[in-house]
Homo-oligomer: A and B are copies of this chain.
């Protein structure tokens, strides 16, 4: 998605060879029009799949699941990292290890909101190690729902997430695929010429 790659070039900040900061427009401050456009792109990619529900994980997946839900005209569900006091019924849950935070947490969703009649599109902001997304894939499989695929906004293609998902037979669409990056420079998979970031490093 060229519009997204362009914004990453203009506003992204590379903090290290593995950490890209996009919180001015995607995951802290959010450009609502861009988020809607991202949702429309997921809608186009999965238009033939008769999706009944979009699934994501709190918090940074919510704006993109919402946008995809708008485009596909279906509800979305977000997995919770803490058990809410109102979550009184049975849940599906999975254990997720966060390499960024060096902690393991449980994600869970109510069994009421996912079942064998559903066809699910999983959406998230980043695909890197794939840990959170694999947790969601396991939850979809446990529920008996059919998985149409995974849609990610930004993929760090130099990390193992896509490979792990594809080993599980999951169809993965990422809107911006980063082949490699280093401070001030980023290479996208579909555009092998180096692209220099417009913004200075912090």
B residues in contact with A78, CB < 8 Å = 28, 30, 59
Cβ < 8 Å to B, chain A residues 85-115: 85-89, 100-101, 109-110, 112-113
B69 touching A19, Cβ below 8 Å = no
A64-76 Cβ-contact flags toward B at 8 Å (1 or 0): 0011011001111
B residues in contact with A19, CB < 8 Å = 85-86
Separation in Å of the A7 CB from the closest CB of chain B?
A: 13
A47-86 Cβ-contact flags toward B at 8 Å (1 or 0): 0000000000011001100110110011111101010111
B residues in contact with A74, CB < 8 Å = 32
Nearest first, the 4 A-B pairs at minimum CB distance are A58-B59, A32-B69, A59-B59, A21-B86
Please name 16 pairs of A and B residues whose Cβ atoms are closer than 8 Å in the assembled complex, sorted by A.
A19-B86, A21-B86, A21-B88, A23-B84, A25-B75, A28-B78, A28-B87, A29-B110, A29-B112, A31-B75, A32-B73, A33-B73, A62-B63, A62-B66, A66-B67, A82-B101
